[in-house]
Amino acid sequence: MAMKKLLIIDDEKNILDILSSMLEDEGFIVFKATDGKMGLSIFEKERPDIVFLDIWMPEMDGIQILREIKKRDNDPVVIVISGHGTISTAVEAVKMGAFDFLEKPLTIEKVLEVISRGLAGKEPQQDKKDDFRIGISKGPNICKQKTIGKSIVVYGVGLHSGVKTGMILLPMPEDTGIVFEHVPEGERIPAFIDYVYSIGYASSVKGKTCIVRTIEHLMATCHMYGITNLLIKVSEEVPILDGSAIELCKKIEEAEIVEQKEGVEPLKINEVISLKNLPDDKHLYIEPAEHFEVIYDLVHPEPIGIQHYHFIDEKNAFRTDIAPARTFGFLKDFERLNQMGLGSGGRVNNVILLSDTGVVNTKLRYKDEFVRHKVLDLIGDLYLLNRPIIGRVVAKQTGHMENIGLVKELKSHFYH
C-alpha cells in the first residue's frame, strides 16, 4: 500500500512537532502548517489523504479552512482538533464535512484510531487471505454486524436539561458495540447494561466521571435497524427531537447502513424469562417466538385509558408504527420535574402534555400513541445487551425500571 500523505494545520508549534513526529514513526508522509493560508497552499500542492485541523487559530479559523478544503476537494479525511471543545463546535465541523472531532490533549491511540476509521471508509475492503474465520457469520440465526456509511449530525434540546445540544453518529469497525463518547471530557461509555445508571423517567449510562442521559429512542432505532457498531459523540443528553424516534430513523437512512463481514448471534429465547416480585397490576416476561415481538398493555385512568399493542418486527413496521410515537406526560408531573431541575426541555413541540381532561398541546399521531411510545422505550432498553433478540416480550404497566430489570435477567441467563 502506498504511503499516505497527512497535513497538520495548527498554530501551536509543540503540537505540530509532537504529532508529526509520532505520525512519521507510523509511516505517514507528514506536512505541517502554522496558519490557514500556509495550510491551504500545501493542501493545493500535495493533496493529502488526511488533514488534522485546529479550530482556534488567528486570522483564519479552522471552520473557514475546512470550508475552503471542501470546496477544493471533498475526498480527504478532515479531522478537527480543539482544546476548547463543545458539542456545538464539533457538530458544526462534522456538518460541514469533517470526518470527526478530537479533543486536546491528543493521545497517539485516539489519533491512530480516528485515522484508521477515516481511511476504512475510503478504501475497498479486501478479504484477508489468512483469515479463516469466514464461518463465523454462517448459520440459521446469525445476523451480520452493521454500522452506518458516514458521519451524521443530529441537533436538538435535552428533555431533562432543556439545553440546546447535538450529537454526532460515527461509523465504527466490527466488534466495537455501541459506545457513547462524552464531549468535551472524551470518556467512552458502552451502551451496555453494566453501565446503566439512572432509570425512571429515562434510561442513562454512566462511566467513571460522565453520564449520558435519555438514550432509549436512539437505542431503539439501532435495535430495529440492526446497527451493532456505532460511536455517539454527545454531551450530557441525547437530544429529545420531537419526542419520538422518527428523525433518528431518517438520519440513519441518510447515512445508509453498511453490512460488515463478521456476524453477531441473537439471543434466542428458549424458555420463559420473567421479572419477579412485581405488583399484581404489572407483569413483564419474554417467551419463545419465531421473531422479535412486543405485546404491551397500558392501563391508565382517562384521558389515556386502556390501550393494547402487538408489535411484530417486520420490515418498516418500526418506522411507520412505533418510531413516530412521542413521549407523553402530565402537566403536573412536568411542573414537579421542573422544580427538581429536570424536564425543562419538555416543550409544546416535543412532548404530549396531558391534563386530567385530555391532550393540551398537540394532535395525536395515533389514537393509541401512548402505548406505542411504551413499546418504543421497551425496544430501546432491550438493546442494552447490544444483541438482536428472537422472542416475544409481554408487558403490562411497566417502564424503564422494569425493562432494565428484565435486561439484567437476560444477561444472567446468556452471559456466564
Hey, which residues are catalytic here?
Answer: 400
Q: Which three cell numbers stand for residue 350?
A: 416535543
CB 409 within 8 A of CB 273: yes
Beta bridge partners of 395: 284, 296
**DSSP symbols for 61-82:** -HHHHHHHHHHH-S-SEEEEEE
Q: What are phi and psi of 86, to 5 degrees?
A: -130, 165
What cell numbers appear for 218 in the block?
436512539
The H or E element containing residue 406 is helix 400-414
- Mapped onto helix, strand or coil, the DSSP state of residue 31 is strand
DSSP state string for 110-152: HHHHHHHHHHHTTS-----TT---GGGG-STTPEEEEEESS-E
d(CA 1, CA 227): 30
Cross-strand bridge partners of residue 297: 308, 396
DSSP state of 164: E
Q: Distance (Å, rounded) from C-alpha 113 to C-alpha 124?
A: 18
- Decide: residue 104, CB within 10 A, 0-12 exposed, 13-18 middle, 19+ buried: middle
Question: What angle do the packed helices 369-381 and 216-225 form, to 10 degrees?
Answer: 80
Angle at 314 between CA 310 and CA 316, to 5 degrees: 105
What single-letter amino acid sits at 330? F
The span from the CA of 176 to the CA of 100, in Å, is 17
Q: Do 120 and 199 touch, CB atoms closer than 8 A?
A: no
